[in-house]
Amino acid sequence: MQIVEVLIEYAKSSLNRPFSYCYKGNKKLVKGIRVLLEFNHRDLIGYVINVTETNLNLEQYEEEKGFSISEIKDVIDDVPLLNEELLSLLDEVSSYYLVPKISVLQSMLPPSLSPRKSSLKAPKIAYDQYLEVIDESEEDLTNKQIELLRFIKLEGRVLKRDIKQVSIIDKLLEKNRIQIVKEEKRRLKVPDYQYQTPPKLSEDQNKVIDEFNNSNDSVYLLEGVTGSGKTEVYLNLSEQVLKAGKSVLMLVPEISLTPMMVEYFLHRFSNNVAILHSELTPAEKYDEYRKIAKGDCKIVVGVRSAIFAPLKNIGLIILDEEHTESYKQDNLPFYHAREVAIMRGKYNHAKVLLASATPSLESRARGQKGVYHMLYLTKRINNQKLPTTKIVNMLDYHNIDRDSYIFSHALRDELHKTLAKGEQAILLINRRGFSTHVTCRNCGHVFKCPTCGIALTYHKKDNMLKCHHCDYVEPLPETCPECGSKYLMKTGFGTEKIQEEVERLFPSARTLRLDSDSAKNKSKIPEVIEAFRKKEADVLIGTQMIAKGHDFPDVTLVGIVLADIGLSMPSYRSNERAFQLITQAIGRSGRKEKPGMAIIQTYLPSHYAITFAARQDYELFYRKEMEMRKLQFYPPYAYLASVTIRGKSEETVIENTIRIVDFLNDEFLDDGQILGPSTPYIPFDMGLHVRAILIKFKDPKKAHDILLKMQELFAYNSAYELLINIDPYNF
């Protein structure tokens, strides 16, 4: 009999321990496979972390141990799901982020291999069936059979589904003239691109590549202005790594950037590329994952979760736009792709390249201290000038009129000139929807999400109110539910409203919109980007999805419709985010021969995040923001951890949050700061009351031990859920 220790599929701290089961079957079980078992009267998936043999029978074993033990119902896998490196990474990520191992496993593996019961119904391997000739003899065959036999022989092999005469196929199989050969199918359809000869590198690019190659450092930070040719550096370095027989992991921050980066790599490396991101179907993810695990490709391009790709012998890991917060997962297991990349780089003795025009303050500070090796691209390709920028104060009534309260005179004038020259424009507003909230004029009622408590956004296209946090939707009612009034007022504006305004003011302009609403259909993102690149539209309107990484040769105007969105958000990163977004958006303009222009509309024209972004001056912004961070004791001058408590009873949540704060104050004393308990921006999440605590500290090792102790004391309580987030981004 085999005794098996398993992790249960529920990602809760209280269940983050092994449970013992027995197995009496004939299979030799090993660590790293999934099994089906009963837990608390439910069929669940367990992930095996240890197996031991015993000569005792079940009754003897239970008597010796003093507790009863259940038997495994079924064994799902024959071989371990993860290689040695990923098993080691599982332990390291779980330990660093203080999260249940099962939550890390569920992030690492595609739906078909995930330790969840839903994986049993997820897609499995699909095959194409080919017909091949094994005996050319035409004796005893009918004319129709001879015709098909000769056709297959001429073609070499034929897809079985392409031949409609099923009965003739059956006869040829029966007479052993042909055979069926099964070949695993790749369900993700990737275009077959022609090889593109690399362009001649600039002096700056050559210098960066030489410095990278001649250094023995592990982690590099490439700070390159927008349009300086960072992508060509990635491709050149990747080529060198492949020639050395190693593999490359290329991460981009947004799904909208994946098609473009994939295209670059396919042009250079043909079908040696696999793709991983959340918009793939479960079947496509499974195929791509297997392709990588089998070693059928040497390059993986993907978003955050691709950091767990089962690539072997990694030589280079690249994070494009490393500053982007989407590299940090905001739910369990709360990992940051940058930190996991460094972990994988260390294991593989690989180099990690972080790159951005606006590096995160933490990365830049590490670069200045020499923790990361700094590299610079200070000029645009062909020495093209950065766009001319103009800040428009929307509080000054001279800048607007009755014709449009959204677009200033300056933006309308520049848009008119751009369209008249047959050039293109991008309009950015980092807010989707038509109106930001709906209120009743009569009683003041604000339509809020019943599960989150935040204002619902009105979307005109489908006449729905939507929550941008939890995706709750409801139709816009004709009357107020509180007082019955028909006078409902829509205030604020988003991408939908901007698109409508452009079409009203410039009726001949062709527009496209790209935000997470219009991109719900996964094929929509590359379609919209490609259509705009081909000049099938004059104006592209969107959220931050369009602000990063894209290269549109004919875009000569960028309009940032409301630059101060986000500056008022309750986050220590709000200034940094605003600066990065504005800088990146401006960088989309004037990337080729034609000069670029950017109009920045704002109600805070003197805010340093906006003025320094308009000047594209990262250095000045960095110095100013570092002063603020030092005064407030925020990263990179401190480390952070947040503790979130969620439960059905608000009283229980508050009571236990106070107990945890008292514990943390006693433990940290003078070595840290405890802020809270506080009510977060979203106080009621998915039917649960939420309270939060923020911890600032200097010593990560000491903090780790205290948080581990806190977890042991407070996490194993069914009345509430306790979540620890190391290095939180949204607080």
Distance of CA 527 to the CA centre of its chain: 20
Residues 6+ apart with CB under 8 A from 310: 82, 83, 86, 289, 292, 293
Residue 492 CA to residue 457 CA, distance in Å, equals: 9
For the chain, give every domain's residue range: 2-121, 127-184, 203-382, 386-434+493-630, 639-726
Say if CB 234 and CB 318 are below 8 A apart. Answer: yes
pLDDT of residue 521: 62
Q: What is the pLDDT of residues 447-479, one digit of tens each?
A: 988 877 788 888 888 888 988 777 889 999 999
pLDDT of residue 178: 96
629-636: list long-range contacts, CB under 8 Å, 24+ apart: 629/361, 629/572, 632/572, 633/673, 633/696, 634/572, 634/696, 635/361, 635/362, 635/572, 635/727, 636/361, 636/362, 636/365, 636/366
pLDDT of residue 434: 64
Q: Which CATH superfamily is domain 639-726 in?
A: Ribosomal protein S10 (3.30.70.600)
pLDDT of residue 176: 95
Which two three-digit tokens encode residue 722?
């306790």
Cis peptide upstream of residue 595 (ω within 30 degrees of 0): no
pLDDT of residue 430: 80
Look at residue 227 and give its three-state secondary structure.
Answer: coil
What's the helix, strand, coil split of the chain in %, to 5? 35, 25, 40
Q: Which residues pair with 688 in a beta bridge?
A: 685
* 3-state SS, one letter per residue, for 468-497: CCCCCEEECCCCCCCCCCCCEEEECCCHHH
Task: Indicate if 386-434+493-630 has the same CATH topology as 203-382.
Answer: yes
Closest C-alpha to 500, from 563, 458, 550: 458
pLDDT of residue 268: 94
Mean per-residue pLDDT, 63-75? 90
Residues 6+ apart with CB under 8 A from 327: 251, 253, 304, 319, 336, 337, 338
Which two three-digit tokens encode residue 698?
């200097």
Residue 48 CA to residue 2 CA, distance in Å, equals: 12
Is 669 a residue whose pLDDT tops 90?
A: no
* One-character DSSP codes across 280-336: S-HHHHHHHHHHHHTT--SEEEESGGGGG---SSEEEEEEETTT-GGGB-SSTT--B
Domain 203-382 of CATH type 1.10.1020.10? no
- A 10 A CB-CB count for 1 gives 17
| Helices 574-586 + 618-632 axis angle, to 10 | 170
Is 520 a residue whose pLDDT tops 70?
A: no
What is the pTM (predicted TM-score) of this model?
0.89
Question: b or e along 520-541 (b: 16 or more beta carbons within 10 Å of the residue's beta carbon)?
Answer: eeeeebbebbeebbeeebbbbb
Q: Which CATH superfamily is domain 386-434+493-630 in?
A: P-loop containing nucleotide triphosphate hydrolases (3.40.50.300)
The pLDDT-based confidence of 231 (bands split at 50, 70, 90) is very high
When the pLDDT of each residue in the chain is averaged and rounded to a whole number, the result is 92
Distance of CA 605 to the CA centre of its chain: 32
Domain spanning 2-121 has what CATH number?
3.40.1440.60
Q: Tokens 């494009």: give the residue.
A: 320
Is 492 a residue whose pLDDT tops 90?
A: no
E strands present in 196-246:
219-224
Mean per-residue pLDDT, 527-551? 88
Mean per-residue pLDDT, 696-718? 93
pLDDT of residue 72: 94
Residue 250 CA to residue 302 CA, distance in Å, equals: 7
* One-character DSSP codes across 556-569: EEEEES-TTTTTTS
Q: What is the pLDDT of residues 334-362, one digit of tens each?
A: 999 999 999 999 999 999 999 999 999 99
pLDDT of residue 494: 84
Q: What is the pLDDT of residues 360-394, one digit of tens each?
A: 999 999 999 999 999 999 998 878 888 999 999 99
Closest C-alpha to 466, from 475, 446, 542, 681: 475
Which two three-digit tokens encode residue 112?
């078909």
